[in-house]
Amino acid sequence: MDSPIDPNLGSGSLLIAWQLKDKNVLIVGGGEVASQRVESILVTDAKITILSPAEGLSPRTKRFLELYPDRITYLDRSFTSPDELHNMDMVLTAVDDNDLSLEIVGMCRNARIPVNAADIPDLCDFYFGAQIRDGPLQIMISTNGMGPRLSALIKQKIQGSLTGCEGEAIRKVGELRQLLKVYEPGVGGAAGRKRMKWMTQLCNQWDMEEFASMDEEMMKRIMEEGWAQDRCPFYEEVGGKKKSRTFTAYSPSWSGLLVSSLSFIAGLSVASLLLTRRR
């Protein structure tokens, strides 16, 4: 609890998981950069408006428009006036026109709408970053505007350290946590503390692959044979199949035992043969 405090805090961003479901997001521009913004915002279930003349749409932006016609409103024209910002909760500009970008940023400031301009990092309220997504898992890498290409390279390094089952493990843990709240309802207080202690211990005790392989039956057993008994069960105790690597780890000693048993039997036979010959 009493972890050391960094004496050099500062010069960074607030990395938060911004909830945009059903909010209105305006993207001005429809080129390659805009298409990356569209992808990032689609993830959030926000209502997207793209404003760009059709001749400026990139192939990828066109594909998003075809794939998500119900979630994206497309306006085939140039940006006109501050009225375009009416009812918007967030604005992103990705246009090849720095003056227009500057103008839109100014309008957003006046209307107190958070804005990102792809070509003016100094005036952005927030930056995008390189992202890793696996279902509910999202990882963002930011260099705070200093080295975007390095963000992409660091992303590749992090991707290499993941097994690919983290998203599924998180999904299943989410289900288990819901079930736990059915067994032990109530917000905060003693119930909350007990749930948190137990969940923390279980997460520390099991690995990602084990969580990812949980099914409904196993979750029920975790609750009945674990939570209800005031303990954290091990994976195998609740029906989890031992992984092959566990078997491999054990196999040398089994084969070792087999080899020594066979040698012992062979040794015995040779000895008895010699003894019978002597007689």
Catalytic residue set: 119
List 20, 71, 84, 100, residue binding ligand NAI (CB under 6 A)? 100
Q: Which of 90, 95, 173, 222 binds ligand NAI (CB under 6 A)?
A: 95
Q: How far is the CB of 65 from ligand SHN (least distance, A)?
A: 19
Question: Looking at 85, 130, 176, 238, which residue binds ligand SHN (CB under 6 A)?
Answer: 130
Cβ proximity to ligand SHN: between 74 and 128 the closer is 128
By a kind-dependent CB cut-off of 5 to 8 A, residue 142 interacts, out of ligand SHN, ligand NAI, none, with ligand SHN
Residues in contact with ligand SHN, counted by CB under 6 A, come to a total of: 21
Q: Is 56 in the site for ligand NAI (CB under 6 A)?
A: yes
129 binds ligand SHN (CB under 6 A): yes
> Which of ligand NAI, ligand SHN, none has residue 130 at its interface (CB below 5 to 8 Å by kind)?
ligand SHN
Q: In the sheet where 115-117 sits, what is the strand order?
A: 72-75, 47-51, 24-28, 90-93, 115-117
Single out the segment in contact with ligand NAI by CB under 6 A; choices: 50-58, 154-162, 170-178, 240-248. 50-58
x-or-dash string of contact with ligand SHN, 133-172, rule CB under 6 A: ---------xxxxxxxx-xx--x-----------------
Which one of the spans 25-33, 150-158, 234-242, 266-274 is the region binding ligand NAI (CB under 6 A)?
Answer: 25-33
**How many residues sit close enough to ligand NAI to count as binding (CB under 6 A)?**
23
147 interacts with ligand NAI by CB under 6 A: no
Q: Is 53 in the site for ligand NAI (CB under 6 A)?
A: yes
How many CB atoms lie under 10 A from the CB of residue 113?
18
Q: What is the SS3 string spanning the chain?
A: CCCCCCCCCCCCCCCCCCCCCCCEEEEECCCHHHHHHHHHHHCCCCEEEEECCHHHCCHHHHHHHHHCCCCEEEECCCCCCHHHHCCCCEEEECCCCHHHHHHHHHHHHHHCCCEEECCCHHHCCCCCCEEEEECCEEEEECCCCCCHHHHHHHHHHHHHCCCCCHHHHHHHHHHHHHHHHHHCCCCCHHHHHHHHHHHHHHHHHCCHHHHHCCCHHHHHHHHHHCHHHCCCCCHHHHCCCCCHHHHHHHHHHHHHHHHHHHHHHHHHHHHHHHHHHHC
Residue numbers of the site for ligand NAI (CB under 6 A)?
Answer: 28-34, 51-53, 56-58, 78-79, 94-97, 100, 118-119, 148
